[in-house]
Amino acid sequence: MSQKIIFFDIDGTLYDHDKQLPDSTRQAIRDLQERGHEVAIATGRAPFMFKDLRAELGIETFVSYNGQYVVFKGEPLYQNPLNKEALLRLTDIAVEHNHPVVFMDHEDMKANTPDHEHVTAGINSLKINYFPEHDPTYHEGRDLYQSLLFCQDPEDKEYEKQFPEFDFVRWHPFSVDIVPAGGSKAKGIQKIIDQLGISPENIYAFGDGLNDVEMLKTVANSVAMGDGHEDAKNAAKHVTTNVHEDGILNGLKMVGLLD
């Protein structure tokens, strides 16, 4: 069997909705690796938010920040930072509207507002045991790969109109990701594919959310989780069972990677 590369989203895909890794998923990843396949992660999370998961699963290749910071076999491969000037302007407007912003680079994240209930609710939902410290100037002169804007639908639509430099992807009722316009997991994956020189039929991807849609449309062998967003399921070539119902294992069987 020729080597395959399989990209997995984390939240709602590898992790169930309690942020736990199902035993069947853990074993399935090991089985893939024992068969000589490359297992990688493609997530909206920052690298420091899934360090323990990478260590547990022995994964050294990943697409983080929805494609903006890519690492191949432990070494940085591609970086696509946010437009610094536009982020300064956006932050000024956000402050005027009491919309907190969390600034994120490859090592850390800082909040421009201390002790805001929407930041607390959003970050705590990730269950990462890590909370951003207060630093309202962290975005000045620094390469940032993603930021979190805390506002509710449809308040984000006004930011979309004013800032074509960015894409805004909702991940929580209180928050949207801010990423460079046109950036996506799919483009981050392509950087790794170019490095590997692997053919399209040997590329697989699993996801469940809105930030997985382009990845699921683009990758030749794509699988959406059964309890994923309808747009993700419509974008994927296959739909497996729910994440907590052995969704990863069943999906890998569905596409012929495991027996």
pLDDT of residue 12: 96
Residue 74 predicted with pLDDT over 60:
yes
Residue 1 predicted with pLDDT over 90:
no
**183, burial (CB in 10 Å: exposed 0-12, middle 13-18, buried 19+):** buried
pTM: 0.91
pLDDT tens per residue, range 87-141: 999 999 999 999 999 999 999 999 999 999 999 999 999 888 889 999 999 999 9
List Cα–Cα distances, 107 to 51, 64, 65, in angstroms. 11, 12, 12
Residue 238 near residue 207 (C-beta atoms within 8 A): no
Structure token pair of residue 216: 């699921």
Q: How far apart are CA 259 and CA 256, in angstroms?
A: 7
Kindly report the average pLDDT of the chain as a whole number.
96
pLDDT of residue 2: 85
- Catalytic positions, written as ranges: 9
pLDDT of residue 127: 85
Residue 102 near residue 111 (C-beta atoms within 8 A): yes
Residue 121, SS3 per DSSP: helix
Which pLDDT band holds residue 235 (cuts at 50, 70, 90)? very high
Quick one: CA torsion of 232, 225, 167, 134, rounded to 10 degrees?
Answer: 160
Q: Considering only CA atoms, which of 185, 192, 187 is closest in space to residue 71?
A: 192
pLDDT tens per residue, range 31-53: 999 999 999 999 999 999 999 99
